[in-house]
Amino acid sequence: MRLILLGPPGAGKGTQATRLEDKFGIKQLSTGDMLRAAVASGSEVGRQAKAVMERGDLVSDDLVIGVISDRIDQDDVAGGYILDGFPRTVAQAEALGALLAKKGSRLDVVIEMQVDDAALVDRISGRFSCGKCGEGYHDRHKKPAKDGICDKCGSTEFKRRADDNAETVASRLKVYHEQTAPLIAYYREQGLLRSIDGMADIDMVTGAMVEILEGIAATSGKAAAK
Ligand code: AP5
Ligand code: MG
């Protein structure tokens, strides 16, 4: 199964991708996570991406298409993947379509997560994650069960993203509306778009996505939920 989670910053793409990864056994491919890892490692890709990400702009199409093109060629994603944060421009979507066509494969679905801008700012400003395993949390919506201890790995170290400040968030939302939102119409025209209410609570959003994916699995004979 190959799918895209399409939604604005803070919509819950990463939160839901992790859950779908566990449930369906398909890998989450987050270009944001890949670029942050590149920045942390000081690689050439990271050097080019760092300042752009800190401003809340998009890194160049060529750079990110190169990153994803290498990644989807690897054996561990032969059975499918969840694209989180890619594509983000029509040029990226066209490049993805061409890469898949070359491999003789195609996307199964694009799930659009609809969330109001005010809720996005609240979600992003309260977000933090485990410094060890990466599990995501929120100051109000998803606290660790025991204060200061990661539910998943027990670590006591947490971190916040460099681009989660008020100024950068405003710029990321503007960029989303101008450059990424046109993909909604793009994929609707291809008959691949399914839209869900991303304002619902985290479990309900997962439920809506699982329903869509199980429907596809049932009709296509692809791997169903575990
Ligand atoms: P990226 O890392 O992709 O960031 P983003 O798209 O801005 O999305 P976020 O990761 O901020 O949000 P999310 O939707 O994953 O939400 P989350 O699940 O964490 O990209 C970062 C940067 O990298 C870009 O700005 C750009 O510079 C660059 N980049 C990346 N890909 C690129 C590309 N393809 N092209 C060019 N540049 C690229 O949830 C947010 C919070 O809300 C969490 O605290 C969570 O607990 C909470 N939450 C989640 N769901 C709910 C819910 N239903 N109710 C209440 N709270 C919720
Ligand atoms: Mg994310």
Write the pLDDT tens digit of every residue in 12-59. Answer: 999 999 999 999 999 999 999 999 999 999 999 999 999 999 999 999
Query: Rounded distance, CA 155 to CA 148, Å?
Result: 8
Q: Give the pLDDT confidence score for residue 200 in this predicted structure.
A: 97
Query: Rounded distance, CA 25 to CA 108, Å?
Result: 16
Query: Is the previous residue joined to 8 through a cis bond, with omega within 30 degrees of 0?
Result: no
Q: How much is the average pLDDT of 201-223? A: 90
Q: Give the pLDDT confidence score for residue 15 in this predicted structure.
A: 94
Q: Give the pLDDT confidence score for residue 219 in this predicted structure.
A: 87
Q: Give the pLDDT confidence score for residue 39 in this predicted structure.
A: 96
Average pLDDT, whole number, for the chain? 94
Q: Give the pLDDT confidence score for residue 222 in this predicted structure.
A: 61
Query: Rounded distance, CA 107 to CA 102, Å?
Result: 13
Please give the model's pTM, rounded to 2 decimal places. 0.94
Q: Give the pLDDT confidence score for residue 224 in this predicted structure.
A: 55
Residue of 121, 119, 142, 113 lying closest to 130 (CA atoms): 142
Our answer to whether residue 161 is catalytic in this structure is yes
Distances (CA, A) of 140 to 11, 126, 127, 143, 154: 16, 7, 9, 6, 20
Our answer to whether residue 88 is catalytic in this structure is yes
Q: What is the pLDDT of residues 138-172, one digit of tens each?
A: 999 999 999 999 999 999 999 999 999 888 999 99
Measured in Å, how far apart are the chain's first and last C-alpha atoms? 14
Q: What is the pLDDT of residues 73-92, one digit of tens each?
A: 999 999 899 999 999 999 99
Distance from Cα 82 to the centre of ligand 1, integer Å: 14
Residue of 36, 50, 88, 123 marked catalytic: 88
Q: Give the pLDDT confidence score for residue 151 in this predicted structure.
A: 97
Distance from Cα 62 to the centre of ligand 1, integer Å: 21
Residues, CB-to-ion distance under 5 Å, ligand 2: 14
Ligand nearest to the CA of 88: 1
Ligand nearest to the CA of 115: 1
- Higher pLDDT among residues 223 and 138, named by residue: 138
The continuous run of DSSP H or E covering 193 comes out as: strand 193-197
Q: Is the pLDDT of residue 221 over 90?
A: no
| % pLDDT > 90, the chain | 92
Q: Is the pLDDT of residue 220 over 90?
A: no
Q: Give the pLDDT confidence score for residue 56 in this predicted structure.
A: 95
Q: Give the pLDDT confidence score for residue 116 in this predicted structure.
A: 95
Distance from Cα 56 to the centre of ligand 1, integer Å: 12
Angle, CA 133 vertex, CA 129 and CA 136 arms, to 5° = 30
Query: Rounded distance, CA 55 to CA 167, Å?
Result: 8
